[in-house]
Structure 1
């Protein structure tokens, strides 16, 4: 279990096809120091609903993989756990995009701490298990945990709450483990968020976004957590509007959590970018549905998503400045010294990432994640609406999709009136509506798979949005340049002037291209309502 070179897991691991079974683990993880866990053990909500004092166990777990980490690369983890005299082998998959709390798993008894693949439904699970031999697996890392578990009988669910304290171990490396696991045994998954929120009310907790296995791989092999893009959501014509909102909202929750660790570590600028995309998609859902379903919950979710987007915004702006703009200009003007400008930008980036880390540690962020999960699992948009809105929720999605897309396209065209004369603020407003139209088109695209024009429309929309984004970014960079104008460093000011000149040239060229793409988009026929 020696540390090796950094690796990046294959995002395609999430796409493994598995036949649904009864072995879906639905779990919410909360993180806190051990002292806080001790304080929470006897909370009234736990004592009142616990069947008994619970059970304390010492759990020794070894995780296995091939030397090439074939299981990890496919989004799997395989472990053998000893609890007393019993040995349990468990294979887990990545969370389901449609149910972000759910992880498919298979548990079987084995004779010792060595895995036995013959006990697993290998044919059902598929590669790479079908090609593995027993001797191909080696220990990767281990955990040693003291677990205090209690069964809670809540009003509409049975939940196991486990207080885990221990270590993750990989060779000479070690990491403290201190967390609460809430596992749904039966009933409504919304109960996990109800309970999680009550625990957060009593102590500062963080929502856990990585499993023990993910943390173990990071510790043992210096795994670089990759940023994750939004995954396709398979909406069908048979889905009711109510189900579609739940699917879309759950996908946004999953997308947000999968990028939390990357954004917080600052290891890849794409992490912050993808978190912002997840939030924009979430806000788009709120904007698209609230006319027909005027639930106050849409505005509540939108408000907190807007707050978090603002916290991420400055960090994203400096990332774009550092990783694209300066590098491109420096390549074309090698005679200019950009060292001072790069140093100034990097100081700003570090400052913004430091501020962002504080935001992601803030209880307000944890509360937002819990409220979003609660909103999805409890389908809170059903609350405080009249019978007409309830009737809309029960309708099949296609008819409403046509209506939403047509309405959003009208908004885009209205914002784009007198396109050539739009100022910076008006272009920004148009960009927002374009993004909403694009996300709406992508959300509902599976409903129109039989229409070739659908993909053409989305492609032209994406190209227009990208061009408009480039123009808007130029305006943002202009403001950032102003914030690094300090001192009398001639080289720094020369670099700033060079970037400013290139940006002005790019703005003129981009404006011409943008007008062409706007005309082309306006001429593209709608793919809905046919």
Structure 2
């Protein structure tokens, strides 16, 4: 069976890989660190994955099946875990092997630890034998005179497949099924790991496309060691909660390239976290923050485009727009039900109160159905592959090749001023005719204001809080009004949503008309407020001028 990438994504057409043509670039990946993609999958999907790997033309040699027993060690106070270090002794084909890993955090499915291995005579770890000098000194300093105790074990059946591409890429797929256990209990393990052996990160992306297109998976947020420490109570169980945006502060001393990397790295982490939240729980804040992150990602690419630009980044922005639209279904329904329908229909009593609550229940059930459909679509490869690309984005650094922008070594302030001035000019064009704007034009002005706000958050630290506070306060106040006006515009969709939500009641139309009329009345007042707030903002000197 020829093992070809998904038709929606191939190595040949990958927006990144076409820029990694020369062999020196491919082999530039540092070999002193592991680079892995970790996937959580159920047993059925793992078996299907193994069938795909076993029939792949890129398979080198026969699959290997091994029973792996690993004993993890730490001090009584878990000092190694606190330092981000995992120490284990693993029995492999009758030989005990000591492995120490540092920087073991898994983010967005990506694991990039520093690792050192050496053989042992038995299962007792010997830190003095650690081959990596830096790791050895660090472990010995942490352990000192403390006892190293076995804290938990893992036993897995590992089936591994070596895959090599004609372009020199080399990865190992490991499918692990087993459990982690201690005297506290037992946790099942079902995961797949794709480890880079030779080549650059784009090789991982290629083989992920070959193997995982069409599969249901989650990018892992834990490794086996973390699961073990949760089991014994040394770590809290992972409980994903939505997080709000908090960008790092950039400074005038940074170059354009340095500021871009710092900002894009934080933004990608923010997106991947809230992506996992959206997949794992029903908190409406998850889709909201995910959409915020995706919009910020696109704003960053546009703001830095004069200096950092190539077709790969343009393609990434298009794909981010697609996922933004997909997630927007969930967010729009949340707003329609919680912010438009409920405050009017459920606040007041009356003869239709029972029908209003029944309709609210139907709308909630309809939202659950749409949520399931959206999450299913997010598992499809065009969306899932974008998630993997984001996880590898900063390691692939696609902006480093075929850049068509100006000098990235220039200081950041000049580009910041250019981006802010350009985006605000769009707002002023709409604002000049604010009395004549129709609904679609108001929506365009709202989007322009949102771009200015994102860029103010991105570049504001260059100017200082004191200088930016007055302008940003007025900008937020204006955007709040435009946000409400946009929500009211969505209220016009309420009648359609009510029809889609299931068998109708005679009072449905009357209830929907009441909700729409109430918000349209408030919108007339809000629009007058919007015009006044725009005038106040436009009379305020921009902090970048």
Q: Does 1:464 align with 2:478?
A: yes
- Show the 5 A alignment for 1:126-525: 143-148=154-159, 161-168=172-179, 175=188, 177-182=190-195, 188-200=200-212, 204=215, 206=217, 208-212=219-223, 224-291=239-306, 293=308, 295-330=310-345, 332-335=347-350, 336-337=353-354, 338-373=356-391, 376-386=394-404, 389=405, 391-449=406-464, 452-485=466-499, 489-525=505-541
Distance 1:487 1:43, change over 3 A: closer
SS of equivalent residue, structure 1 residue 332? coil
Aligned length: 485
Distance 1:433 1:340, change over 3 A: same
Distance 1:33 1:324, change over 3 A: same
Distance 1:322 1:42, change over 3 A: same
Distance 1:36 1:298, change over 3 A: same
SS of equivalent residue, structure 1 residue 144? strand
SS of equivalent residue, structure 2 residue 194? strand
Distance 1:494 1:143, change over 3 A: farther
Distance 1:521 1:209 in 2: 45
1:482 Cα shift?
Answer: 3.3
Query: Which range moved further: 510-519 or 475-484?
Result: 510-519
1:515 Cα shift?
Answer: 2.6
Distance 2:38 2:74 in 1: 23
- Show the 5 A alignment for 1:69-84: 82-84=90-92
Distance 2:544 2:303 in 1: 16
Q: Is the 8 A contact 1:144 1:167 kept in 2?
A: yes
After TM superposition, the score normalised by the length of structure 1 is 0.74
Q: Is the 8 A contact 1:62 1:142 kept in 2?
A: yes
The C-alpha deviation readout for 1:305-345, integer Å capped at 9, x for no partner, is 22212211221111122333334335631343332221221
Distance 1:151 1:45, change over 3 A: closer
1:376 Cα shift?
Answer: 4.2
SS of equivalent residue, structure 1 residue 145? strand
Distance 1:205 1:496, change over 3 A: closer
After TM superposition, the score normalised by the length of structure 2 is 0.72
Match of 2:18 in 1: none
Match of 2:19 in 1: none
Distance 1:61 1:459, change over 3 A: farther
Q: Is the 8 A contact 2:107 2:221 kept in 1?
A: no
Q: For structure 2, list consecutive stretches of 5 or more residues without a partner in the other structure.
A: 1-30
SS of equivalent residue, structure 2 residue 432? coil
The C-alpha deviation readout for 1:129-162, integer Å capped at 9, x for no partner, is 99xx999x997x8753233567889999997634
1:477 Cα shift?
Answer: 2.4
Q: Over aligned residue pairs, what C-alpha RMSD do you find?
A: 4.6
Correspondence for 1:40 among 47, 53, 59: 53
SS of equivalent residue, structure 2 residue 450? helix
1:259 Cα shift?
Answer: 1.8
